[in-house]
Structure 1
């Protein structure tokens, strides 16, 4: 199976004013594309060609693993956002978050705290653990919960290219904007 750049699930300006078209052009059109193209190049002769991207991420090592993971992480991130996003999660997801964190507001605070505390580049994830409980995981670089036992539900890209054009080095402002475009329906559909 070929590794290809997925189309954005919305128009490039659909997340404005929270995330600009210029940021999407750079983030999706340059950064995500570069990971996809390099992963596709490295896939040749790896013995993993023909596998779905998720399986390449789970089985690959070295540079192929890094680029494949970044290709998958970015594709997942785009699917976590929507121009109709924001607001509150539905009952099942809200209940799960409330049982673990006290309420949805405290979940957001903890997620944001972890995103602000992640030194350098990486990702912050809402995951569902094998026991069904939610968790928040911060990963550095290209690391992804896809390679472990957790089920990724929501991803927030905290690499600078996700927000630098819009917010320069103000990650906190980016996180405020992120919450306004989270697609809670898509997140809830990933629950096991």
Structure 2
């Protein structure tokens, strides 16, 4: 072998060693397709554009199709090893988190709470939602000091919520209303209560349009409330049939 050939062989061998010693690039796969399972993403009852300009279409698409879908997917993954999770009504399971296996309890709390909260959230919004009337309006006047005070107190509670969370109006079986704020994806359902309505104050609910201006979002959100649906939920609460 010539000196030149020997030199080329040594260079090639050195290169192979360098390639072998270099760390491999690992490309993460995208999100897995949502598994089939007992938990389902409820469809939006209106087009994603319906709540503009108060909530933009892109936010609705991401919020519903990505964030809510992630909670549903996680719950379906839990049911692969714990199928009985799907046999218990969502409000009952949330009220009995202490009975959920410890290894998955936090995951169920976060993801089933998120599923319940968002399923309610899509329902109580809509275009041209009208104004509160009848028994709901009477209850707001009686328990929350009238609409102006109610909206001010509700917005204040949402604004005070540190980090991510929700602000709710709870309703008892005798129709009494109260305002509650909860962190993360917690819900009054975890205490056996029922939710009349609620607003999501996680940044993913408003950041594309409002950035850090949560107060502006809270104020604008009232334009999206479907008071007809809220009235139906109020009647269901008094009848003892309100679910999530």
> Could you tell me how far apart the structure 2 residues matched to 1:37 and 1:57 are?
17
Structure 2: which 5+ residue stretches go unaligned? 1-36, 98-104, 239-244
Larger relative contact order (Cα-Cα within 8 Å, sequence gap ≥ 6): 1
Q: TM-score, normalised by structure 1?
A: 0.93
User: 1:130: Cα distance to partner?
Assistant: 5.1
**Which residue is equivalent to 2:111?**
67
Matched, 1:91 2:134: yes
Q: TM-score, normalised by structure 2?
A: 0.74
**Which residue is equivalent to 1:104?**
147
> Could you tell me how far apart the structure 2 residues matched to 1:101 and 1:35 are?
32
Q: Secondary structure at the match of 2:199?
A: strand
Say which of 122, 125, 138 aligns to 1:78.
Answer: 122
Which range moves more in the overlay, 87-96 or 45-54?
Answer: 45-54
Which range moves more in the overlay, 125-134 or 29-38?
Answer: 125-134
User: 1:151: Cα distance to partner?
Assistant: 1.6
Matched, 1:158 2:158: no
Matched, 1:125 2:168: yes
Cα deviation 1:66-104 (Å, max 9, x = unaligned): 11110111111111101122x421121111111122211
**Which residue is equivalent to 1:3?**
39
Q: How many residues align?
A: 191
Structure 1: which 5+ residue stretches go unaligned? none
Contact 1:43 1:64 in 2 (8 A): no
> Could you tell me how far apart the structure 2 residues matched to 1:43 and 1:68 are?
12
User: 1:131: Cα distance to partner?
Assistant: 5.0
User: 1:42: Cα distance to partner?
Assistant: 1.2
Runs of 4+ displaced beyond 4 Å = none
Contact 1:67 1:142 in 2 (8 A): yes
